[in-house]
Amino acid sequence: MVDFYGTPTPINQTAQIQVPEPQQLLIKPYDKSQIGAIINGINKADLGINPQAEGDAVRLVIPALTEEVRKDLVKKLQKEMEQFKVEIRNSRRDGMDKVKNSKEFSEDEVKGLENDIQKLTDKYIGEIETIAKNKEKELMTI
């Protein structure tokens, strides 16, 4: 995201993005006064890429994936996966609370709905773990 006149805006809506070489991105803002904001947005994103201002454009040279960089990406992946799992568990807790506090359901219906909520929770946590494992395997075999 880039601070575009005080409004957080996706970078692709404020600039043209080109790929002059396989390991480079060239970002040409529609408004040349936004180069500083684009550089700040890229630095805030903490991508591990150092943007370089070149006149009316910003050049990003994407480093090769060394084993150290790949391990760091896997750590970030694990951290994001844990954050998603926390969000799913929070949703489960909210759903369970709503079901328990509702006067519309009998005890049997509450137990059934709680089982359904738990099954959905387990299903989506399993999907996240599977996606993360596949992505980790992909990153480490590049």
Domains of the chain: which residue ranges? 2-61, 67-140
* Sequence-separated contacts (24+) of 2-9 with Cβ below 8 Å: 2/34, 2/37, 2/38, 2/40, 2/41, 3/37, 3/40, 3/41, 4/34, 4/37
User: Is the distance from CB of 11 to CB of 2 less than 8 angstroms?
Assistant: yes
Does domain 67-140 fall into CATH 1.10.645.10? Answer: no
The pLDDT of residue 57: 92
The pLDDT of residue 18: 93
Name residues of the chain where pLDDT drops below 70.
none
Total H helices, total E strands in the chain: 3, 6
The pLDDT of residue 93: 96
**Three-state secondary structure call for residue 6:** coil
Domain 2-61 falls in which CATH fold? Gyrase A; domain 2 (3.30.1360)
Unique residue bearing structure tokens 């395997």: 137
What is the DSSP code (8-state) at residue 64?
P
Beta strands in the chain (DSSP E): 2-4, 7-9, 15-18, 24-29, 51-54, 57-61
User: Is the distance from CB of 14 to CB of 29 less than 8 angstroms?
Assistant: yes
pTM of structure: 0.64
The pLDDT of residue 6: 84
Residue 62's CB is within 10 A of a number of other CB atoms, namely: 14
What CA–CA distance (Å, rounded) separates 16 from 142? 29
User: Is the distance from CB of 57 to CB of 26 less than 8 angstroms?
Assistant: yes
